Structures are given as structure tokens and as C-alpha cells.
Amino acid sequence: MERIPELELMNGPEHAMAYAQADFTEPHNRFVSLFQEKFRGEEIDGYVVDLGCGPADVTIRFWRAYTDCIIHGVDGAENMLKHGRKDIADLGLESRITLHHGRLPHENLPRASYDVIISNILLHHLPDSMVLWDCIRSYGSPGTMVYVMDLFRPPSQDVAKRLVEQYAGNEPAILQEDFFHSLCASFRLEEVRGQLEQADLGHLSTETVSDRHLIVYGRL
């Protein structure tokens, strides 16, 4: 199946509400547990940036696993961030997690570099995939931990539809449609490897970790 790009931003109020209310417990907990597996034994007590944080569900779950860190999240969808800011305030975490509205690569984050860079399900949304890898190089420094998770493109639209039914069959139609379009817009592992080589990040490891997810991880 050829890649079919989709919208970069999902900023409508209906999208933001649907994502904020959806149950992403399994994949988002998996995001954190795989980070813990790949960086086993690491103490995260510095600064973390979450690129494309959306409503900050992953951001909050990551902080809960590493409560000594400070996280800056950035996303171009203000309506998504509104839900994240509310959750952060309800949990009393404003001093540990702050969210910034900005569209990569133009956002000026509070720090010039970060100890950890994470990103979940952002890559396939970007019109230019190199934006993510260039931002990682820009906001990282030698030793920075990098951890990116995204979907990978299935072999056909029929397989994509089956994945939607299996994993989002009980979700609102808007989420099912977004999931299908995201699968069709995502990259295959070999395509991601090519992007990393182009960005001089070929030393980072890549791995498929489910029937729909891949990860990129390692240190700069």
C-alpha cells in the first residue's frame, strides 16, 4: 500500500474532546513500559521534552514513572493542549509539567537542550518527516536519550480496516476514521531507517513492537 498523507493538525474541538475522553491506557502504558525496558536502570531526574504531546496523557504517564523529572510538552493543536492543561492542574503538577503551543520546527522551547526527548504518534502527521529528526538533533546534546513511537503502515487498506475494528471498534466514529487515516499515512520500518540515515541518526535503534507500532530509541 502506498502512503496516503493526512492532516498535520487535529485541532477541532470535536477531535480534541474525542482524544481526551478516549481510553488509550494500553498503548500509552506500553509507551512508558518500553521506554523503561530500553533504558533499564536509568534515573530520569533532568529535563524531558515531549514533542507532539497532544492532550498530554502520555506526558503525565511518563512523569508518573519518573517523578523527579520536569517535562515540557509541545503541540501545535491548542484545543488538545487545553485538555492537557486541565488534567495537569487537576493533578497539581503545574510545577513539573508545562505545555507549550507551537508548531515544529518553529517553536522556541524553554531550554536549548534536553536530557530526554520523547514523541508518541507524531511522525506520520508531519508533512516533512525530517522535521522531527531535525528537532531531535537541535534539542538534544551528546548523551540525550531519544525515544519515538509511531504507527507503521500495514500492507493494505483491508488490513488497516481490520486493525481499526480490533483496536478502536468501540471508539467514536471520528477516532476510528482518524486511526484508519493514520495507519495509511504512517511509515514502514525501512522508510524510518532511511530517514534516520538522512538525518545522521543512523546509530539509533529501530524495532517493531506490536502489530501496528514501531519505536526508535537510543542516545545522541
Length of the chain: 220
CB-count exposure of residue 176 (10 Å: 0-12, 13-18, 19+): middle
Cα–Cα distances (Å) from 145 to 93, 112, 168, in that order, read 23, 15, 31
Q: CA 70, CA 114: separation in Å to the nearest integer?
A: 10
pLDDT of residue 200: 97
Closest CA to 39 of 214, 205, 208, 169: 205
Q: From CA 151, how far away is CA 140, in angstroms rounded? A: 23
C-alpha to C-alpha distances, 9 to 55, 86, 94, 101, 189, nearest whole angstrom: 13, 20, 25, 12, 23
Question: CA-CA distance, 88 to 8, in Å (whole number)?
Answer: 25
The CATH superfamily assigned to 13-219 is: Vaccinia Virus protein VP39 (3.40.50.150)
Beta bridge partners of 219: 145
| 3-class secondary structure, 10 | coil
- The per-residue pLDDT for 11 is 56
102 contacts: CB under 8 Å, gap ≥ 6: 74, 75, 76, 108, 109
Decide: 116 and 69 in contact? Cβ < 8 Å.
Answer: yes
Nearest to residue 147, comparing CAs of 24, 49, 47? 49
Locate cell 514502514: which residue? 188
Q: What is the pLDDT along the chain (220 residues), one digit of tens a residue?
A: 999 887 655 556 666 676 666 678 889 999 999 999 999 999 999 999 999 999 999 999 999 999 999 999 999 989 889 999 999 999 999 999 999 999 888 777 889 999 999 999 999 999 899 999 999 999 999 999 999 999 999 999 999 999 999 999 988 888 899 999 999 999 999 999 999 999 999 999 999 999 999 999 999 9
Distance separating alpha carbons of residues 45 and 23, to the nearest angstrom:
28
Q: Where do the structural domains in the chain lie, given as residue ranges?
A: 13-219
